[in-house]
Amino acid sequence: MTHSIAQAAEHSGLSIDTLRYYERIGLVDPPARDSGGRRTYSDADLDWLVFLTRLRTTGMPIKMMREYAQLQHVGNVTRGARQQILLDHRASVRERIAELQSSLDVLDYKIDLYTTLMTSEQVARGATV
């Protein structure tokens, strides 16, 4: 089954401009073209776009994504190198998650503190909680 660029964009969550950019920089193979010269994307292309979107969501730099894509094109002999890229990136993502969790803990503490202080003030003024 083939999909238009608009369908590929909707499926992947990327803009049409981003799809064209990804094609230009080599993250996406140039898609097939229909008789009118319009890009058509296969289901495998859509799967790859979703994967790239997930990598970007996790903060993987475009440079690293390009390296991964180039290795992907070489074939099975690069599986170890591709796995290492993903392992390294996963470690980075886990570090960021830990940092975010620590920051969230601080926010939760402050929110709870304000709730406690405002409740105490309301009680002191004789308001019902």
**Cβ-contact 95, 58 below 8 angstroms:** no
* Cα(68)–Cα(129) distance, integer angstroms: 57
Mean per-residue pLDDT pooled into runs of 10, the chain (129 residues): 94 95 94 92 96 96 97 97 98 98 98 95 76
Angle at 60 between CA 65 and CA 8, to 5 degrees: 60
The owner of tokens 């994307």 is: 41
Per-residue confidence (pLDDT) for residue 125, from 0 to 100: 84
Per-residue confidence (pLDDT) for residue 122, from 0 to 100: 86
